[in-house]
């Protein structure tokens, strides 16, 4: 399974117009391969396969401004058995 997600640029504040409140557009690619046999499932996966650095959110509270970055590339294997 191949997943592609595009998030368009966002303006997170309708009042203030500084560039800080703009989140640039970004693309994410995810891939997974699943094998099932009887009650077993084995899945290899990769999220954010291109290891894109992107801003997921901008937060301004009191005198603090925070930029929250999205998750870096992560990958692994899942094994599941149903009873």
pLDDT averaged per 10 residues, the chain (length 83): 94 75 93 97 97 90 83 97 95
Q: Are strands 55-61 and 64-69 parallel, antiparallel or unpaired?
A: antiparallel
Could you give the count of Cα atoms lying within 13 Å of 75 in the half-sphere of its Cβ?
A: 13
Contact criterion met (CB below 8 Å) for 19 and 9: no
pLDDT at position 41: 97
pLDDT at position 63: 67
The residues facing 6 across adjacent strands are 27
């Amino acid at each position: 399974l191949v997943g592609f997600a595009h998030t368009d640029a966002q303006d997170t504040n309708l009042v203030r117009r500084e560039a800080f409140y703009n989140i640039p557009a970004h693309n994410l690619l995810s891939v997974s391969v699943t094998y099932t046999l009887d009650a077993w499932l084995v899945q290899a996966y990769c999220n954010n396969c291109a290891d894109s650095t992107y801003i997921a959110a901008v937060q301004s509270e009191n005198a603090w401004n925070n930029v929250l970055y999205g998750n870096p590339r992560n990958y692994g294997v899942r094994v599941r058995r149903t009873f």
